[in-house]
Chains A and B, each alone.
Chain A
């Protein structure tokens, strides 16, 4: 054991040694240590370099507020985590940590030059310079600034760890497991409530873990904690979550908790989640988030060895570590004397107590004097000395008139400081509760709650132990039962609790305030804050943004109130008038992975596959993502690329027969006596005259008149329609239908059901399709007369009950066989087997080429939300006799009939060879330079194997009046001449489709 480690006491196990590395050097700690306490136990105070000036820094605190001790912890090449607070990193065997923001080493850091040049780098300096020469910001200055900024190094390999998530509900969520939180949980559990109690630390107890003087009911504080935990663990309605930070308070009492599951383990079990995100909806919330000790702002207050008094006490009492051999305490309240007394008792020499107050006559100062500690009142700190560790402090005694009576330099290797406490109102403020300034405590305290929430204990300015526990009992009982009155009580006592506080910079009586730090991590000093006010930044939000105070990874936990007080002083206004910056989620930095959870790879979004998917995969299909669906795009054979495969598939459909999986098309069953009326009101078409057994191509517009979706609609019965939609449009079309059905036309007797997945849909297309299906269908006459184009019939296919629709998106004689989904693969196989050499499976790419040859649009490709039915050449589909349908009124506006609207046309390259690029623009005038006058764009473009030339569809201004004219597609290599042609390239008479 080192000289720094005490022989006994604390929450560590000295018999269990833990080896660890810091910056490549081997050290030893013990079980129960944090990385911070283990480093201190090895005499290591220098743990980091500051963000801007690269000043050497030691640990300031022992907890979540730590601004200096940021390290990178490395488990393996992929498990590298930057910017962890050493005070929160639990030590495990083999832990490997690195300091940050220094080069080449922590002891000797070239970046320190910034410190010597610091007069050139006041707050906001970068707004005033680096503007010349123009363009140099990006090429010259910014890269330098970027390299200097940042803290740790981001991981460079994918994180292999798992992250879990869960939702939970409870009657009472207690955030914070110190005395107040434990008391609240006990009292809430007494009422029979479902309770969740969480604490960010590895064990419950809060300040009691560091307070050997505390007594509760006559025994030690720890005994009470142990008993409370035993009681709570035994209650099945209580969930205890240690290592769990309540990081966010969201509307309607939803809290986000981050539970760390494996970071403290030397060898985490394989597959175990590293962290779990809890989303807890609580009927009531009790915030028992405690308070954070404030640093004192004096010159040179940032040297390693200078830390919060409470932190020194925690390191001693909880971790058994002395932070030095000879310490000076700088304080403005009684409580911190207990730290001096504890250290004194542990053999640390207390060189002096510098008390900023004119008098210090309380019990603790008296005890300190009795212990032989020199107490200086009316004291101030004029500076400190030391390189990588403080070695002297310069104290002054104020004469009461603004001068210094005596100056004195005291040798020391540790300085403890305390400006009192800042209640942790982060979660309360996130909940949009209103804070109020408390003058005696010099703090903002919770005032009006916005949610069903109560703050208890130190986070609302109650600091004495008995008061804290009583507050917890009362709030816990009330949160659970809705009634006031508590069943429990204790007698408790601990040192301190006087609540005296000090804010802002110490009086310097004219001495320089150089290097009086307010925000340690961002190197914001008193001078920076004063400069900001001088430059006219008066709102605290402006000061914060200009100086960056409070914007570091600690989010101002130790700095915000000191900054506020200094700004208020400079502006000569009361603190509440300067305002308080918002507290934002998260309370402490929270891992991205925990928000993402299991949502990665195939779990990022559902992968929807059709019943025939595996068959296509076996056949070597290449798939594309369409919405959530995987669709076979083409079926390459041998060494075919996409174009060869598509050409082959197209020719096969045109000459024989193709088989295509159309199952992803959306299907909606519209049922009820008013089904036809309902569709009349929605779709542009007329449905009243559609006979049972017939199909019609339908177009759905939005109310603004633009095409929203399309699809074939079959009338299965007088009161039953089978409506198909685009693959991507299925959900939103159904949602739109439900909106009109429920909210505009509730009087209609009509109901809607998605049947997309009820049916497997097998498109059999091509001149041989009828022959092929003959013999596989029963009870259905698929002959040309009995089942003409655009009709539907029920029957059995391969012995399975289903329906056959005679529809074609290919331009050939074609059928779509619908069978219940579980039979899809069997029927597909049967049809495919029957087709032998005459049948060719094809994918979406071939489907697109075939339909483009016929001039059929794809909604979303040939339309883009600004296209009307008429623009797309579909005015024929509009039911002319209808008084109204969704979109009709918008289509009556003059602009919707302007002759120069973009209209769907076909384009043919004049050279007969060049395939236009989809998205390429269309111009009337050749040879233009940017900015060009453009009149349209190419929406679909393919090589047509069957026509042996390229084809394209385009939206062109006034396009239909331009038939036969020449237009130009400007490409980087020059214009491509194109001829405007009708969009139907293949079989314009439709003879094949009606075969």
Chain B
């Protein structure tokens, strides 16, 4: 199960033989009757959790069950933004844990995930925005998370296409910049974790949908009923994003989640024009440029819960009018492809990474629009939680019970607009 080393040299050597002896990056495993642990959901979070279970906790008899193809859910549908400039200590710790893992992920996995810390700039358009972002900047600085305030001219210098003219409806009054933030290649994250986990003995089982969760007399998780047969497992970690409610419902566990469509789009590729990531919460849009040259653009969720993986045209028109307002030079650019994902949202828009009321059943969900950036960190602490049956200190606040007790971690409300 040793994996073939990836390197420039390996590439040159195999070029001589027409690249004929590259082996599958991960095995097409058939399910075994039983595993020590099973992860439901073959996205970056699930594959990563399997990898860290094997790598850091010595639990290698692990399967990842994916109902479709790995990385085909939100992992492969997001706009790949990575940042950790969150307001609350709990969030900053979680996301910064993740950014630190991102920084070494290509080397750790021997897979180029193309983490590119190009800087994430969040624009302020109102006095209220300035207050909110400065609060972030201060909180982040004190937490050891880089985040700095830029005046409009500095923002323009960092991102030349940005319109900072006063003729905008909401002129840019400044920006918060996290230089360590950036982007990565989404598919590579799933594939890199899959390959590395596979090399450690993890079975990655695609086209395997979970139909039922069996519990023993004591109520503990015992086995999963799947489209590929019954699979016994003492521990089950669910990382199923928009489908989490459905999967956990099989064990009678209810969660405070709602699943919404989230759209993204790319333009036709053009030569490098956009050096960083820019987000504007006030006018609802974010944008970066991929290595291929496409402008990658996203916005908020659609208004209603849905599992259709598609969104509405009027959401696109709003997203693109915001982009054209911020970057009037992009008005003649053209949308090449638009798609939708399903994001699961909690009442405080922060994730749940926790034990469930069912012994042996764990959940990592509720990432809303922020899941990709957290992939390595969430997977890492989720694996810890599964392995030790107790949360890592970083995910300890992200319980289900916080909603009962009122200990919300409400990043969105903290940016609430009023006056």
In the complex, residue of chain B having the shortest beta-carbon distance to the beta carbon of A128:
B6
Of the stretches A298-306, A328-336, A681-689, A723-731, the one at the interface is A723-731
In the complex, residue of chain A having the shortest beta-carbon distance to the beta carbon of B320:
A595
Measured between beta carbons, the chain A residues less than 8 angstroms from B192 are 127
CB within 8 Å for A591 and B332 given contacts A539-B69, A917-B138: yes
Expressed in whole angstroms, the Cα–Cα distance for A157 and B11 within the complex equals 42
Of the residues A137, A593, A607, contact of B324 by C-beta under 8 Å: A593
The answer to whether B134 has its CB under 8 Å from any CB of chain A is yes
The answer to whether B270 has its CB under 8 Å from any CB of chain A is yes
CB within 8 Å for A127 and B111 given contacts A120-B11, A866-B410, A919-B131: yes
Expressed in whole angstroms, the Cα–Cα distance for A146 and B110 within the complex equals 22
Expressed in whole angstroms, the Cα–Cα distance for A887 and B285 within the complex equals 33
Q: Is the CB of A591 within 8 A of B334?
A: yes
CB within 8 Å for A918 and B270 given contacts A595-B335, A930-B141: no
The answer to whether B388 has its CB under 8 Å from any CB of chain A is no
Q: Is the CB of A128 within 8 A of B293?
A: no
Of the stretches A216-224, A470-478, A704-712, the one at the interface is A704-712
Q: How many residues of A contact B (CB 8 A)?
A: 122
- Residues of A848-869 at the interface with B, using a CB-CB cut-off of 8 Å, are 858-861, 863-866
CB within 8 Å for A127 and B406 given contacts A595-B317, A600-B328: no
Q: Is the CB of B329 within 8 A of A158?
A: yes
The answer to whether A535 has its CB under 8 Å from any CB of chain B is yes
Of the residues A152, A165, A865, contact of B416 by C-beta under 8 Å: A865
CB within 8 Å for A154 and B28 given contacts A861-B419, A896-B406, A932-B142: no
Measured between beta carbons, the chain B residues less than 8 angstroms from A923 are 142
Pick from B8, B308, B405, B410 the residue with the most CB of A within 10 Å: B8
Q: Is the CB of A82 within 8 A of B270?
A: yes
Measured between beta carbons, the chain B residues less than 8 angstroms from A633 are 127
The answer to whether A647 has its CB under 8 Å from any CB of chain B is no
Measured between beta carbons, the chain A residues less than 8 angstroms from B332 are 79-81, 155, 159, 161, 591-593
In the complex, residue of chain A having the shortest beta-carbon distance to the beta carbon of B167:
A601
* Binary CB contact string for chain B from 381 to 418 against chain A (1 if under 8 A, 0 otherwise): 00000000000000000000000011110101111111
Expressed in whole angstroms, the Cα–Cα distance for A358 and B28 within the complex equals 39
In the complex, residue of chain B having the shortest beta-carbon distance to the beta carbon of A629:
B419
Expressed in whole angstroms, the Cα–Cα distance for A972 and B28 within the complex equals 54
In the complex, residue of chain A having the shortest beta-carbon distance to the beta carbon of B165:
A158
Chain A nearest CB, measured from B326 CB (Å): 10
Measured between beta carbons, the chain A residues less than 8 angstroms from B61 are none
Of the stretches B15-23, B44-52, B236-244, B370-378, the one at the interface is B15-23
In the complex, residue of chain B having the shortest beta-carbon distance to the beta carbon of A138:
B116
Measured between beta carbons, the chain A residues less than 8 angstroms from B115 are 137-138
The answer to whether A493 has its CB under 8 Å from any CB of chain B is no
* Binary CB contact string for chain A from 213 to 254 against chain B (1 if under 8 A, 0 otherwise): 000000000000000000000000000000000001011001
Of the residues A146, A151, A158, A542, contact of B328 by C-beta under 8 Å: A158
Measured between beta carbons, the chain A residues less than 8 angstroms from B313 are 248, 250, 254, 256, 279
Q: Is the CB of A134 within 8 A of B107?
A: yes
Measured between beta carbons, the chain A residues less than 8 angstroms from B328 are 158-159, 600
Q: Is the CB of B112 within 8 A of A159?
A: no
Interface size class of B (residues with CB under 8 A): 35 or more
Q: Is the CB of B187 within 8 A of A625?
A: no
Measured between beta carbons, the chain B residues less than 8 angstroms from A155 are 329-333
The answer to whether A626 has its CB under 8 Å from any CB of chain B is yes
Q: Is the CB of A151 within 8 A of B144?
A: no
Measured between beta carbons, the chain A residues less than 8 angstroms from B271 are 147, 150-154
The answer to whether B337 has its CB under 8 Å from any CB of chain A is yes
The answer to whether A388 has its CB under 8 Å from any CB of chain B is no
Q: Is the CB of A138 within 8 A of B118?
A: yes
The answer to whether B226 has its CB under 8 Å from any CB of chain A is no
In the complex, residue of chain B having the shortest beta-carbon distance to the beta carbon of A156:
B329
Measured between beta carbons, the chain A residues less than 8 angstroms from B324 are 592-593, 596, 599-600
Q: Is the CB of A251 within 8 A of B310?
A: yes
Expressed in whole angstroms, the Cα–Cα distance for A151 and B334 within the complex equals 13
Chain B nearest CB, measured from A277 CB (Å): 8
Expressed in whole angstroms, the Cα–Cα distance for A604 and B163 within the complex equals 14
The answer to whether B307 has its CB under 8 Å from any CB of chain A is no
Q: Is the CB of A919 within 8 A of B410?
A: no
Measured between beta carbons, the chain B residues less than 8 angstroms from A931 are 89, 93, 142-144
Measured between beta carbons, the chain B residues less than 8 angstroms from A531 are 19, 22
Measured between beta carbons, the chain B residues less than 8 angstroms from A131 are 6-7, 106-107, 110-112
Expressed in whole angstroms, the Cα–Cα distance for A726 and B111 within the complex equals 52
The answer to whether A906 has its CB under 8 Å from any CB of chain B is no
Q: Is the CB of A930 within 8 A of B126?
A: no
CB within 8 Å for A591 and B206 given contacts A626-B419, A866-B410, A893-B405: no
Chain A nearest CB, measured from B134 CB (Å): 4
In the complex, residue of chain A having the shortest beta-carbon distance to the beta carbon of B188:
A127
The answer to whether A618 has its CB under 8 Å from any CB of chain B is no
The answer to whether B356 has its CB under 8 Å from any CB of chain A is no
The answer to whether B36 has its CB under 8 Å from any CB of chain A is no
Expressed in whole angstroms, the Cα–Cα distance for A911 and B70 within the complex equals 60
Q: Is the CB of B338 within 8 A of A584?
A: yes
Q: Is the CB of A595 within 8 A of B338?
A: no
Measured between beta carbons, the chain A residues less than 8 angstroms from B253 are none
Q: Is the CB of B25 within 8 A of A596?
A: no
Q: Is the CB of B272 within 8 A of A146?
A: yes
Expressed in whole angstroms, the Cα–Cα distance for A425 and B337 within the complex equals 16
Measured between beta carbons, the chain A residues less than 8 angstroms from B293 are 146, 149-151
In the complex, residue of chain B having the shortest beta-carbon distance to the beta carbon of A606:
B169
Of the residues A82, A728, A859, A918, contact of B134 by C-beta under 8 Å: A918
The answer to whether A722 has its CB under 8 Å from any CB of chain B is no
Q: Is the CB of A142 within 8 A of B116?
A: yes
The answer to whether A627 has its CB under 8 Å from any CB of chain B is yes
The answer to whether A452 has its CB under 8 Å from any CB of chain B is no
Of the residues A137, A147, A729, A920, contact of B272 by C-beta under 8 Å: A147
Q: Is the CB of B26 within 8 A of A536?
A: yes
The answer to whether B136 has its CB under 8 Å from any CB of chain A is yes
CB within 8 Å for A625 and B126 given contacts A128-B10, A150-B270: yes
Q: Is the CB of B6 within 8 A of A625?
A: no
Chain B nearest CB, measured from A442 CB (Å): 24
Of the residues B10, B138, B292, B331, contact of A149 by C-beta under 8 Å: B292
The answer to whether A15 has its CB under 8 Å from any CB of chain B is no
CB within 8 Å for A151 and B169 given contacts A586-B338, A728-B417: no
The answer to whether A624 has its CB under 8 Å from any CB of chain B is yes
The answer to whether B72 has its CB under 8 Å from any CB of chain A is yes
Of the residues B138, B269, B338, contact of A920 by C-beta under 8 Å: B138
Jot down 25 A-B pairs with beta carbons below 8 A, ordered by A: A119-B18, A126-B114, A127-B111, A130-B112, A131-B106, A137-B114, A138-B118, A138-B182, A147-B271, A150-B272, A158-B328, A159-B331, A527-B18, A534-B23, A542-B70, A589-B268, A591-B335, A592-B267, A592-B332, A605-B169, A607-B169, A727-B419, A728-B417, A866-B410, A919-B138
Interface on B for A, CB 8 Å cutoff?
6-8, 10-12, 15-16, 18-20, 22-28, 68-72, 76, 89, 93, 103-104, 106-107, 110-112, 114-118, 125-128, 131-139, 141-144, 163, 167-170, 182, 185, 187-188, 191-192, 206, 267-273, 283, 289, 291-293, 308, 310, 312-313, 316-317, 319-321, 323-325, 328-339, 347, 405-408, 410, 412-419
Beyond known contacts A129-B6, A149-B293, A627-B419: 18 more, CB 8 A cutoff:
A127-B191, A131-B6, A138-B117, A138-B118, A150-B292, A158-B163, A250-B313, A534-B23, A555-B336, A591-B331, A592-B330, A593-B324, A596-B323, A600-B324, A633-B127, A861-B419, A928-B142, A930-B141
Interface on A for B, CB 8 Å cutoff?
51, 79-83, 119-120, 122, 125-132, 134, 137-138, 142-143, 145-147, 149-159, 161, 163, 165, 248, 250-251, 254, 256, 277, 279, 432, 527, 531, 534-539, 541-542, 545-546, 548, 551, 553, 555, 582, 584-586, 589-593, 595-597, 599-602, 604-605, 607, 624-627, 633, 704-706, 709, 726-729, 858-861, 863-866, 890, 893-896, 917-921, 923, 928, 930-932, 934, 937, 970, 972
Q: Please list the 7 inter-chain residue pairs (A to B) with the smallest Cβ-Cβ separation, ordered nearest first.
A: A865-B413, A860-B418, A536-B24, A150-B293, A919-B135, A930-B144, A919-B134
